[in-house]
Amino acid sequence: MNIEVKVGNSLNKNDEIKIIKILKNVGDSIRLNDVIFEVESGKGASAVNSKTKGTIESINVKEGDTVNADKVLAQINGEQSPKATNTSTNNFNYFQNLIKPVKLQMESDITIIGGGPGGYVAAIHAAKLGAKIILIEKEKLGGTCLNWGCIPTKTLVRSAQVFDTLKKAEEFGCYAENIGIRMEKVIDRKDKVVAQLVQGIKYLMDKNNIKVINGVAEIVDNETILVKSSTQQITIKTKNIIIATGSKSAVLSINGIENKNVINSSDALSLKEVPKKLVIVGGGVIGMEFAYIFASFGAQVSVVEFMDQCLISCDDDICEENKKSAIKKGIKLYNTAKVEEICEAEDNECIVHFIQEGKDKYITANKVLLSVGRTPYIDGLGLEKAGIELNQNKKGIKVNSKMQTNVSNIYAIGDVTNIILLAHAASHQGIVAVNNIMGRPCDMDYTVVPSAIFTEPEIGMVGIGEKAAKLQGIEVEVGRFPFSANGKALCYGESNGFIKIIKNKSTERIIGASIVGLHATDLIAELTLAIKSNLTAEAITETIHAHPTTAEVIYEAALSLVGEIGRAR
Ligand code: FAD
């Protein structure tokens, strides 16, 4: 008898479904429950399976077609199973599958685990090179960067800048009354910016025919991945794997960490009100960015840092400039200070107990933001099943310069490698991994990875710092220029900071630069290109820089390196 295959009775007749994959051909013999189609509807991805055994007579759709839910997708010559005849139709029942996940099988050239800036960039690059790609994401496309990191923090930085500008409007001859901050609006704007960017990534995935699966991935062996979600259990057979699972906030093992007022960076992005007193444990990049944001919003901010200065990866003079600026802003800095425990006071405030120079010290706070670094996300990934090795300190996945793990068809990129925890580094590692998989051998070069820190003023750094050059025994010459002599910075009323360009005395090439000042995070791009292209300071001085711009500080610092006297303009 001829049996029709439709999507099922849980959808309305006019609901649209997209045919994602057709797993059988006309003439194929099929058994009861064999999956014939993978489809997507407004209710998510699902499978259409056979309720009979028999032979496929016809298939009436193509992959990529969008059809109504009552469309007859295929016809089977077979016997109606007694179970099926008891139901109103013999079709796939969506809700039945909500209770019991549908089991599916898929195949790909490259399966990428994690949809952050490492994973999604790798996916797009590989798809453009012609590979069949599956990308698995357990939470939201865009990963930490778009949803809980770079982008949300920078929208908050911008709100803080606008508020600061309003506060000093009079200095510019402008008058604003009753100025204030409404956190719900700040958070709402942040959420909108994030949503727009995430939507953009979804569009790029569709445009490049990248199959995105929402679920938790586990490596079964070097060619098999299992993805689990509430509706599906998908086994993927894959030629290559890229692990791009990122990182999570590190936690301190001290008493009181479970207190409800102890928050991490993700929580800090959605605070509905500005805490009166905020203690930030950890004065690294993330901690200091939040310190300036919440100080601008009106919180009394204290930073407790274990090392002898905040932003320890910067050169000493940059740290000093940041310290001056933080103190001016009212941020209290406690360096060489070790947090011992966090207690709860009777009035619900927290008491942060730390030891500094041998003395017990205490600060009270409404919120305590823990910002003590990030840990590679390898939980439940099944690394041991595939025999994937970790780095020496057992943090992060070990990779070679091609981003390849010790298992030749498995690559790892981004924060999970624990090499450089920055979004653009993750993306570039993704490109390198894909190129190597696709037969375009290349190596990851870490000498020219810029970093951008959104403190006040901003900091941009690239290449070797003075501290590192000394340690490596490289003889250097440093060209400097202050923002106080830059026309645009003065017009903007933001003339703190300086630039320094570092050249290798023996090769004459520029090998590093640090900028602390207005637009530093954008300006660092020119020096990144200069170092990558092996340029000398002369090459910069021979390049015309527009006036009046902050980019002129680069020109002036380069002039001082070639022995010409800088001219303030
Ligand atoms: P992620 O972006 O973390 O993405 C990994 C994804 O993998 C996540 O979406 C996760 O859900 C998913 N995943 C994990 N395990 C599984 C699994 N088993 N199955 C399926 N999916 C899984 N960097 C900058 O360059 N500039 C900045 O200004 C900046 N600011 C930051 C501010 C904050 C507050 C934070 C926390 C970070 C910031 N970073 C910044 C760092 C940046 O966010 C990360 O370096 C970057 O996101 C790393 O990218 P990734 O692709 O390696 O991992």
Q: Residue 431 in contact with residue 453, Cβ under 8 Å?
A: no
What per-residue confidence (pLDDT) applies to 564?
66
Q: Which residue has the tokens 């003075």?
A: 466
pLDDT tier for residue 393 given thresholds of 50, 70 and 90: confident
DSSP 401-417: TTSB-SSTTEEE-GGGG
| Nearest alpha carbon, ligand 1 atom 14 | 245
Atom 30 (ligand 1) nearest CA: 150
* Catalytic site residue from 424, 428, 519, 547: 547
Pairing of strands 300-304, 277-281: parallel
497, 517 in Cβ contact below 8 A? yes
96 has pLDDT over 70: no
**Contact call for residues 157 and 293 (beta carbons, < 8 A):** yes
**CA dist 275 to 56, 368, 458, 546, Å?**
65, 10, 24, 43
Going by CA atoms, what residue is nearest to atom 3 of ligand 1?
Answer: 246
For residue 237, the surrounding DSSP H or E stretch is: strand 232-243
Is 217 a pocket residue for ligand 1 (Cβ < 6 Å)? yes
Q: Is the pLDDT of residue 533 over 80?
A: yes
H or E element at residue 348: none
Helix orientation angle between 183-207 and 119-128, rounded to the nearest 10 degrees:
30
**pLDDT tens per residue across span 431-487:** 999 999 999 999 999 999 999 999 999 999 999 999 999 999 999 999 999 999 999
Nearest-angstrom CA–CA distance, 554 and 548: 13
Smallest Cα–Cα separation from 206: which of 20, 47, 360?
A: 20
CA of 145 to the centre of ligand 1 (A): 5
Distances (CA, A) of 255 to 17, 283, 334: 53, 20, 20
What pLDDT was estimated at residue 565?
A: 59
Give the whole-angstrom CA distance, residue 430 versus residue 416.
12
Tokens (6 digits) for 325: 């600026």
Is pLDDT above 90 for 51? Answer: no
Q: Confirm whether 547 is a catalytic residue.
A: yes
| 100: amino acid identity, one letter | K
| Per-residue pLDDT tens over the stretch 514-531 | 999 999 999 999 999 999
Dump pLDDT digits (tens) for 210-234.
Answer: 999 999 999 999 999 999 998 889 9
Cα 548 to Cα 485, 487, 544, 552, 568, distances in angstroms: 12, 6, 12, 7, 11
Q: Is the CB of 284 under 6 A from ligand 1?
A: no
